[in-house]
Amino acid sequence: VVLFEMEYSTWVEDQKRGTDALRTALNARATDLELRILVEGGLKLYDDLFDMKATAAKSDVFHLMSGMWRTTAERFFLWIGGFRPSELLK
């Protein structure tokens, strides 16, 4: 569980860097190839996230479903919005 939380915080940082790089490339009018590489990198990040969640679910599915690994702001918005069954698919 602790390992997942550490991996998730690293994933969030990587995702932010990837989003920033993509935004910069779009503003700089990058080529289609450059954009494709950035988008594929972003897709791989999400694939990695799903793998991390699957591994974490094997050890403690309740921790993963409770969302305690999320940031305080994310937990607040989940509390405001309530449980969504679509969260099970993420």
Other residues' Cβ atoms within 10 Å of the Cβ of residue 46:
12
pTM for the full predicted model: 0.72
Q: DSSP letters along 55-84, please?
A: HHHHHHHHHHHHTTTS-HHHHHHHHHH---
Other residues' Cβ atoms within 10 Å of the Cβ of residue 69:
20
* Per-residue pLDDT, 34: 95
* Per-residue pLDDT, 89: 66
**For 40-90, how does the pLDDT look when each residue is reduced to its tens digit (9 = 90+)?**
999 999 999 999 999 988 988 887 777 777 778 877 877 787 766 566 666
Q: DSSP letters along 31-52, please?
A: -HHHHHHHHHHHHHHHHHHHHH
Least confident residue range of 11-15, 24-28, 61-65: 61-65
